[in-house]
Structure 1
Amino acid sequence: MTFQRKLAVALACSALSATALVASAQTIRVANQGDALSMDPHSLNESLQLSVTGNVYEPLVGRNKDLSLAPALATAWTQTSPTVWRFELRKGVQFHDGTPFTADDVLFSLARTQVEGSDMKSYTNDFKEVRKINDHAIEIETKSPYPILPDVLTLVYMMSKKWCETNQAATPVDRRKGIENAASFRANGTGPFRVRERQPNVRTVFTRNGNYWGKVESNATEVIYTPIGNDATRVAALLSGEVDVMEPVPVQDIERVNGSARTRAVTGPELRTVFLGMDQKRDELLYSNVKGKNPFKDKRVRQAFYQAIDIEGIRKNVMRGASNPTALMVGPGINGFQADMKRLPYDPEAAKKLLAEAGYPNGFEVSLNCPNDRYVNDARICQSVAANLARINVKINLVAETKGTYFPKVLRRDTSFYMLGWSPATYDSHNALNALMACVDDKGAGQFNLGAYCNPRVDELTKKIQSETDKDRRNAMIREAFEVHAADVGHIPLHQQALAWGVSRKVKLVQLADNFMPFKWMSISQ
């Protein structure tokens, strides 16, 4: 046999071996329009961030496929008094570096959510004390009765005290200030997947945790996560087989994805509500041609903006029917949703009259901040809002940008008028009331109330709702809080968007209504 022939055979054998290894590796390639901004699970309270890091880190209380509560790092929890909950911790769990998980990590993690730089304060702002009972039991005492505490904890992930302190990451860094630390790029959780490689905005590679304590309904040994911001490029990557799962599928491409023999669109309702917020605190808006006063402090101006927005036009022309216009800051599927509450009518003429009554007969100019890679058709929705408001002589300077720069900007309240989406992590209205509508304090209440809307009655009701155990009384208070907020036009709710994931027909997965994507429930066939 000639040298060339031997070389060819060797290369062929090598190629076959490599192919066999790739086939056995069971890699799943996932694409999204955006990236997680950090690997630190306490640095940003944003669902994509928490979905991605939730494959690496875990909470005390998790969720089943039907979103009911499930034991995670806690095997059981009991309310021993109206203000005290006891959690029994899972034994034999290790962090990815081999360090045992104990009560000390829980105390450290819960304290970490409350320090400067944490974006998770609204989940733990009512904690009075967290006590270690022994290495595998803790108690949480709250300032007032907190019957939904286990639900609140489902997105509060546990970190290793030892790892954080060793790597100078004992506190989360503030994404609003653009600061990073070791936890921003590396991760050490207890979850079913580890971070092997992290290239922000390029790709993140996850590998299976061989020492995972729980059952993993997946044959994936590797998941490659790639952000692809361009809709057409993302769809093309799915159709060509370059990626196996991607989201979101643009509404105009759902039929095309379903028409391919290789792919399908998995659709369903989402719990997220998309809305607009307005700066109601500053005496003068940062980004407006109105000087010496703030138009948004006048309810008539806020109502004019609301009634100038053609939400049915957005549903039909921008969302192509894949949205559900809403009058509330929460949607169907959230406890406390009020199905009979109606939006203010679309009425540009009434809006013009309200502006004139408020002293702006010729309108005014203001900037609108929007992401262009976070929600379904987010930038196009904002373009439609701008066109609608132009009809009442309001000139919108649209600032649409990637969420990597958008979120740090609006979260430091460097905005006058903004878009945001919110999925209550507890599947309960109290979450939205506490995070979005409560008066802002330094403990975490109103942490995402970026326009600083404040009504003492809503605040009073929010605190009572947290403690109330009688379902009928609680729902009556939720309704009143929503009615007060709606009467104030505290925010402008738009719609709940629909989920649309593009999936290879080789892939089996579970689509959750909160748009989280657990890799442990994802498998691929060859």
Structure 2
Amino acid sequence: MLLRLAGIGGIGLASPLALRPHAAWGQDAASTLRIGMAAPNTTMDPHLQSNAPNNAVATHIFDSLIVNDEASRSQPGLAQSWRVVDDTHWEFSLRPDVRFSDGTPFTAEDAIVSFDRATNLPSTSSFRTYTRSIKSMQAKGPHTLLIETRAPDPLLLNSLSRIRIISAKFKDATTADYNSGRAAIGTGPFVLAEFASGSRVTLDRNPNYWGPRLPWSRVVLSIVPATGARLAGLLAGDLDMIEAVPAENEERIKASGNLHLISGISSRLVYFAFDQERDQATFITDNDGKPLPTNPLKDLRVRQALSMAINRQAIVDRVMEGNAVIASQFLPKGGFGTSPALAPETYDAVRAKALLAEAGYPNGFRITLHGPNDRYINDGKIVQAVAQMLTRIGIQTRAEVMPWTAYAGRSDKAEFSMFLNAWGVNTGETSNPLGAIAATYDRESGLGVANSGRYSNPKLDALVKQALRTMDDKERGRMLAEASELLFRDVGIAPLHHEVSIWAARKNITYATRADQYTLAMGVGQTA
């Protein structure tokens, strides 16, 4: 497709911190910024499919009431301040000087329409997990919004940061209207100039933007999944900055003389998920290729064996070349909602074989591992490495990787048996991934919307639901830690590592790295 177009209980600060450009920018900065992106956005519809590439691109065009800064802390966006009226009522004061890129004034009605659309739009990967607690919304004037929650919601501000605001005039627009550009009208710092699906997104400065004037008149987000091609573009001067730099390219960048590396630890957990819903697995057979009578992944001992067979240290050292941290749960120990009792799985091929025998598979079985090859750092290599590790314990393993554009929809529909996924824990606590990945899939409630393996544990569900309405931080943390123990001891998913994100850029380009790993033109700076 190619288109060418013309803090809780307190008061928020007044400046849009997360969108503020670097202080070193001058009026003589180059007018076009060219960034090499590792994964494509699959849509321009800000409410269709929640994943990092889509959300990052949407953030350039569409604002939210609350924005997350680099450390995932809630800051004022289109809402300049807020107050907690009581445990279930929040009042937001909206900026009065904001217009959409087509000149239409922004009002509370636009926010209400946006939340309704994000809640009700049919999608396999919906934003409903962020709106499920909202009971009602009321415009108490054009720039005052009252939100009532169904129960106390300590994470409302963070949830609101995930919903991009559209103009009410496009409340009935289809995804095709956004992809065509007709409805891609926001209040953000840029407007859509060109969308070449899977190739590039070109953005022009929004002349009606309410925030500080940005130095770039144009930003080109070039989709270059191949790491070698991204690096070649940077070395040739065709790109100013690239994301997801693999470790094997670091020395070449350092030796270039005019480039430098920018790195930071992310909140992203890379993990394998398991099909625990089907009675007969889709991509598992016996050693002769015949269907098995039961799905072995429903047996805890099999999941434990698969997890034990993964040598995480080898993946960190050899595949990630040190640019990762072995994970035991959603966040490193000490993170809000983590459990000190959980430790990384110890690699033990002998014990893994014994567990398979106990489960009735002394000779293993055949399995196909699935994953993307252009979404997460070294994702295709990770799938290949784990396939070799499983083969060593007697499981005939085949790896099948594919572009993210093909993989994302199939993963969301729970098509695979054992497959690679990742989740950015951008709330700073484990309630978000527990609710989205670990809770029983329930489209109507918004829980389990990213639970592609369909893991289900009623006790975990009860803990998560209770934690999500507990305003007391200490008690909420205790419940989340207990829920984490249930999930990871049950090997509901098999955690691998937390990514270390690396960018490379011209030496005069700076970037404030983000826990959510987003690459945003608004955070790019330049030195003299």
Q: TM-score of the superposition, structure 1-length normalised?
A: 0.90
With over 3 angstroms needed to count, the CA separation of the structure-2 counterparts of 1:236 and 1:488, relative to structure 1, is same
Aligned partner of 1:463 in structure 2 is 465
TM alignment of 1:40-439, pairs within 5 A: 40-118=45-123, 119-165=126-172, 168-169=173-174, 173=175, 181-186=176-181, 187-216=184-213, 218-289=214-285, 290-331=291-332, 334-338=335-339, 341-439=342-440
Shift of 1:399: 1.6
Shift of 1:486: 1.7
Partner Cα distance (1:65, 1:26) in 2: 24
Aligned partner of 2:44 in structure 1 is 39
With over 3 angstroms needed to count, the CA separation of the structure-2 counterparts of 1:103 and 1:246, relative to structure 1, is same
Q: Pick from 488, 495, 504: which aligns with 2:490?
A: 488
Amino acid at match of 2:275: D
Amino acid at match of 1:458: L
Amino acid at match of 2:47: H
SS in 1 for 2:454: coil
Shift of 1:484: 1.1
Cα offsets for 1:167-222 (capped at 9, x unmatched):
x32xxx5xxxxxxx111242111000111111111211111112111124x42111
Partner Cα distance (1:93, 1:525) in 2: 30
Aligned partner of 1:11 in structure 2 is none
Shift of 1:287: 1.6
SS in 1 for 2:120: coil
With over 3 angstroms needed to count, the CA separation of the structure-2 counterparts of 1:368 and 1:389, relative to structure 1, is same
With over 3 angstroms needed to count, the CA separation of the structure-2 counterparts of 1:247 and 1:185, relative to structure 1, is farther
Partner Cα distance (1:87, 1:395) in 2: 57
Cα offsets for 1:334-378 (capped at 9, x unmatched):
522345620221111111111111111111112211000001100
Shift of 1:416: 1.2
Q: Residues 269 and 425 of structure 2 are in contact (CA less than 8 Å); yes or no, is this contact kept in structure 1?
A: no
With over 3 angstroms needed to count, the CA separation of the structure-2 counterparts of 1:110 and 1:489, relative to structure 1, is same
Amino acid at match of 1:32: M
With over 3 angstroms needed to count, the CA separation of the structure-2 counterparts of 1:307 and 1:66, relative to structure 1, is closer
Partner Cα distance (1:279, 1:515) in 2: 28
Cα offsets for 1:39-77 (capped at 9, x unmatched):
111111111211111011111001234442211111112
With over 3 angstroms needed to count, the CA separation of the structure-2 counterparts of 1:241 and 1:339, relative to structure 1, is farther
SS in 2 for 1:184: helix
Aligned partner of 2:453 in structure 1 is 451
Q: Residues 72 and 427 of structure 2 are in contact (CA less than 8 Å); yes or no, is this contact kept in structure 1?
A: no
Q: Residues 272 and 331 of structure 1 are in contact (CA less than 8 Å); yes or no, is this contact kept in structure 2?
A: no
Q: Residues 426 and 515 of structure 2 are in contact (CA less than 8 Å); yes or no, is this contact kept in structure 1?
A: no
Aligned partner of 1:499 in structure 2 is 501
Gaps of 5+ in 1: 1-22, 174-180
With over 3 angstroms needed to count, the CA separation of the structure-2 counterparts of 1:65 and 1:330, relative to structure 1, is closer
Shift of 1:495: 0.3
Amino acid at match of 1:211: N
Q: Residues 61 and 189 of structure 2 are in contact (CA less than 8 Å); yes or no, is this contact kept in structure 1?
A: yes
Q: Residues 117 and 171 of structure 2 are in contact (CA less than 8 Å); yes or no, is this contact kept in structure 1?
A: no
Gaps of 5+ in 2: 1-27, 286-290
Cα offsets for 1:239-293 (capped at 9, x unmatched):
1211001011111111211222111110110110000000101111112114221
Q: Residues 254 and 260 of structure 2 are in contact (CA less than 8 Å); yes or no, is this contact kept in structure 1?
A: yes
Q: Is the deviation greater in 320-329 or in 390-399? A: 390-399
With over 3 angstroms needed to count, the CA separation of the structure-2 counterparts of 1:333 and 1:272, relative to structure 1, is farther
Q: How much identity, in percent, do the aligned residues show?
A: 32
Partner Cα distance (1:77, 1:455) in 2: 36
Amino acid at match of 1:141: E
Cα offsets for 1:57-111 (capped at 9, x unmatched):
1110012344422111111122212112121111121111111111111111101
Partner Cα distance (1:338, 1:49) in 2: 31
Partner Cα distance (2:426, 2:241) in 1: 24
Report which of the two has the higher share of helix: 1
Q: Is the deviation greater in 33-42 or in 125-134? A: 125-134
SS in 2 for 1:77: strand
Cα offsets for 1:8-32 (capped at 9, x unmatched):
xxxxxxxxxxxxxxx8761110011
